[in-house]
Amino acid sequence: MLDSLFPCSFRFSMAEEGIAAPTLTWTGEEPLETESSFALDGMGEIPFTSVGKIEDWEVVLPSTSDRVCSEYNNYVFPLYEVVFKDMGFQLPLSDFQREVLRWTKLSPSQIHPNSYVFMRAFELVCQHLRVPPLKNLFYTIFTVQRGADWVSFRQTKKMFEIFTGKVQSFKERFFLVRPKSDAALDTLLEAAKEGVLECRTLFPLYWSQDHFGYELKDFCRTVPSLTEEETDVHRKLPNVETH
């Protein structure tokens, strides 16, 4: 299946894909103007390439015309080096992380890297407590906030430290990743439905304006709105105030 989608030449360069610089009118200048440090046809650096199992995922170098907010084909999507190199993330994203992206209607590169740390820290706390990491529970602890272009999560009460590594220079240090196997591709797609031929992604892979059609409060949850199961899990979390 994937061999027909991805010709051999595609595995090494996006330059031949003919991706033009985006003409988005709803973003600021920074994502439209920032070229990747790893641009293949420029004086690019060699990025950190350990993003997942080598048989499932591959790093593709952008061209000088590619931007983090460009729209890519064949389920290719941009992500930041710091997420893998300094924060230790690996693909595929977990069920919880994919659900957060689906819920907020954001692509992986629209989210500020610090928010990846919050997602992972929340998962680890839940793992330690042997409770499921529930999306609705996460959004009783975190609210969504919008910067000039990137979206992030803010703690309603401090539970986790903010990552202070190399996040400051993350914007130009993006590369592209693509699924190499059917197993990897399946983690990006909704389950097939009877009578539906179109493959839909679980969350946006490129920058989407859909998120901005909602008010920030639409993404938040309050404790009274939780189900009985979610409320039971909420009580087990440390240093969480009920609101």
DSSP per residue over 60-108, as a string? Answer: EPPPTT--TT---STT-EEEEHHHHHTT---BSPPHHHHHHHHHHT--G
For the chain, domain boundaries? 2-187+201-236
H-helix segments, the chain: 2-5, 29-33, 81-85, 95-104, 113-129, 135-141, 182-186, 228-236
Taking only the tens place, the pLDDT of each residue in 66-119 is: 999 999 999 999 999 999 998 899 999 999 999 999 999 999 999 999 899 899
Is the sign of the CA dihedral 106, 217, 89, 162 positive or negative?
positive
Closest CA to 84 of 205, 150, 165: 165
Buried b (16+ CB within 10 A) or exposed e, 160-190: beebeeebeebbebbbbbbbbeeebbebbee
Q: Which of 12-21, 26-35, 161-170 has the lowest mean pLDDT?
A: 12-21
For 193-233, write each residue's pLDDT tens digit: 555 556 789 999 999 999 999 999 999 988 889 889 888 88
Distance CA 110, CA 101 (A): 10
At 109-140, the pLDDT tens digits run 999 998 998 999 899 989 998 999 999 999 99
Q: Label residue 194 left, alpha or beta by phi (over 0 means left) and psi (-120 to 50 means alpha).
A: beta
7, two tokens: 């010709």
**Looking at residue 17, what DSSP letter applies?**
G
**How many CA atoms, within 13 angstroms, populate the side-chain half-sphere of residue 85?**
16
